[in-house]
Amino acid sequence: MQSGISSIILIGGLFLLSSCKKFLEETPNNALPTNKSITDAATARAAIIGAYNSVQDYYAASYPTLGTITADNVIFYGTLSQYLQLDQNAIPADNVTTVAAYQNIYKAINSANSAIAYVPEVTDPLLSAAEKNKLLGEAYFIRALGYFDLGRGWGGVQLQLQPTTNLSAARGIKRSTLQQTYDQVLNDLIKAEDLLPEDASTRNRAQKSTARALRARLHLYRKEWAEADKYASQVITNPKYALVTPFKAFFTTPFGTTESVFELTFSANDKNSFWNLWYPSSAGGQYTLKPSASFVSKINDAAIGGSRNSLIAGTGDNVYGVLYNTSATSTDPSYIIRIAELYLVRAEARAQLEDLNGALSDLNRIRNRAGVADSKAATKGDLLQAIENENSIEFAFEAHRWFDLVRTERVDDILGITNKNYWVFPLPYSDILSDPDAQQNDGY
């Protein structure tokens, strides 16, 4: 008996020692090691889908919030400090919303960088050259969009163009100027336009026209009027896109109307609850973002808002925005580029190029669609002001107003923020601490 037990211990012990190494190998069943992350057609496709998912992460709520509550059409009506800080344009470096947006944009860029680095190396008969180009083009587009959104929010940023696979990759990237950031965006858009396909119906993934549309906007931001005119025209003339009537058709189901150049689709399995920030308690929301009284009176003015008053609902003190309205299903798209914007981009470019008739014609397309009479603006100055006002109403709850005011340097006039330092958001406080190359914006 005793020797029997002893030998069991001995044998058991030896067995354990020899198989110990193997015993300690535990394989994850819901993840892949990074070096196997993009190796064939399926993983390449999944990586691009993942990159879109990361764009959703910052466009679903935080980026449109940054573009709206900071300006005059939307005010804070909630309880959480981060929104109050944005509304008051007194944004500390640890403001939750700016930090989340900034981090999520770089996550999308890292996904895009990975695809740009690894997709060309994939040799899989199931991945045709055409599809490879498409995936690559989408990656370039997503990176371009990311750096564009960083540039217009935070100024020139650190340009990370390689996927992060180890810590050393993170070191030594200084901030670029806004010019350099936009140059990078342009480079990527040129590649994207070249690589991307174009079909007659896709609006929720990047296509040639999507790259052109973003490029038109980029040129507008850079005051390169002729190019803005040119690329806006290329999109406008594409029969795939048309202004919809009534106005509210583009934000009522079914989504993905001809209005849309680029929108991010959500579904029952991939929800967007942004409506929750807009809806009042009585409708199950938080009511953190509320249309301002001045905006409500404007949009209810038939000569200004026209049918765009379908952007709001409720009465009296309880008016709320309904651009995001799928409270039952939480499937509102994120509206990134609408064809209406291209008209206004071209109008502005043409006005700057002294083509006042062309500008007026584009402006009136937008006004007439909303049932508003032609603009009476006659001079270049009046026209530019009219376009600014139109942008404000047309894109009231999308990521436009704040960025438009910054780009046209009208923040002081409209919002009374004289200190230009506060025309850009602060870099995350934590990033300043963790990255010696991240230099905080002045004034923060």
Ranges within 167-206 binding another protein (CB under 8 A): 167, 169-170, 173, 204-205
Binding of another protein at residue 297 (CB under 8 A)? no
Q: 3 or 123, CB closer to another protein?
A: 3
DSSP state of 167: G
Asked if 320 and 309 touch (Cβ cutoff 8 Å), the reply is no
Strand partners, 74: 291
Long-range contacts of 217-224 (CB under 8 A, 24+ apart): 217/148, 217/337, 217/341, 217/345, 218/148, 218/182, 218/185, 218/186, 218/189, 219/349, 220/345, 220/348, 220/349, 220/407, 221/148, 221/152, 221/182, 221/407, 222/182, 223/352
Cβ neighbour number for residue 186 with a 10 Å cutoff: 20
**At closest approach, how far in Å is the CB of 425 from another protein?**
13
Q: Rg for the chain (alpha carbons), in Å? A: 25
Distance CA 374, CA 365 (A): 9
Binding of another protein at residue 16 (CB under 8 A)? yes
Residues shown for the chain: 444
**At closest approach, how far in Å is the CB of 161 from another protein?**
10
**At closest approach, how far in Å is the CB of 228 from another protein?**
29
Q: 381 or 436, CB closer to another protein?
A: 436
**At closest approach, how far in Å is the CB of 438 from another protein?**
6
Tell which one of 279, 335, 402, 425 touches another protein (CB under 8 A): 279
Tell which one of 30, 201, 315, 357 touches another protein (CB under 8 A): 30
Stretch that binds another protein, among 58-66, 220-228, 262-270, 361-369 (CB under 8 A): 262-270
Distance CA 433, CA 47 (A): 30
For 185, counting Cβ atoms within 10 Å of its Cβ (0-12 exposed, 13-18 middle, 19+ buried), the class is: buried
**At closest approach, how far in Å is the CB of 29 from another protein?**
6
Helix (H) or strand (E) holding 339: helix 339-352
Q: 73 or 265, CB closer to another protein?
A: 265
**At closest approach, how far in Å is the CB of 147 from another protein?**
11
For 160, counting Cβ atoms within 10 Å of its Cβ (0-12 exposed, 13-18 middle, 19+ buried), the class is: middle
Stretch that binds another protein, among 127-135, 214-222, 291-299, 321-329 (CB under 8 A): 321-329
Q: 110 or 233, CB closer to another protein?
A: 110
Residues 229-248 that bind another protein (CB under 8 A): none
Size of site (CB under 8 A) for another protein = 98
Residues 395-424 that bind another protein (CB under 8 A): none
> Which single residue is written with the structure tokens 């025309």?
423
> Which single residue is written with the structure tokens 């062309």?
358
Tell which one of 120, 433, 439, 442 touches another protein (CB under 8 A): 433
Name the residue type at position 176.
S
Binding of another protein at residue 70 (CB under 8 A)? no
Tell which one of 237, 297, 329, 379 touches another protein (CB under 8 A): 329
Binding of another protein at residue 303 (CB under 8 A)? no
Binding of another protein at residue 257 (CB under 8 A)? no
Tell which one of 40, 41, 46, 389 touches another protein (CB under 8 A): 46
Q: How far is CA 266 from CA 102, 142, 235, in A?
A: 21, 17, 24
Q: 35 or 357, CB closer to another protein?
A: 35
Binding of another protein at residue 41 (CB under 8 A)? no
Name the residue type at position 416.
G
Binding of another protein at residue 123 (CB under 8 A)? no
Beta 312-313 vs 289-291: how paired, if at all? unpaired
Binding of another protein at residue 320 (CB under 8 A)? no
First-to-last alpha carbon distance for the chain, in angstroms, is 78
For 317, counting Cβ atoms within 10 Å of its Cβ (0-12 exposed, 13-18 middle, 19+ buried), the class is: exposed
Tell which residue, 179, 174, 211, has the closest CA to residue 192: 211
Tell which one of 89, 245, 307, 327 touches another protein (CB under 8 A): 327
**At closest approach, how far in Å is the CB of 18 from another protein?**
12
- The 84-113 contact track toward another protein, x by CB under 8 A, reads xx--x-x-xxx-------xx--xx-xxx-x
Binding of another protein at residue 130 (CB under 8 A)? no
Helix (H) or strand (E) holding 98: helix 96-118
Q: 21 or 376, CB closer to another protein?
A: 21
**At closest approach, how far in Å is the CB of 23 from another protein?**
6
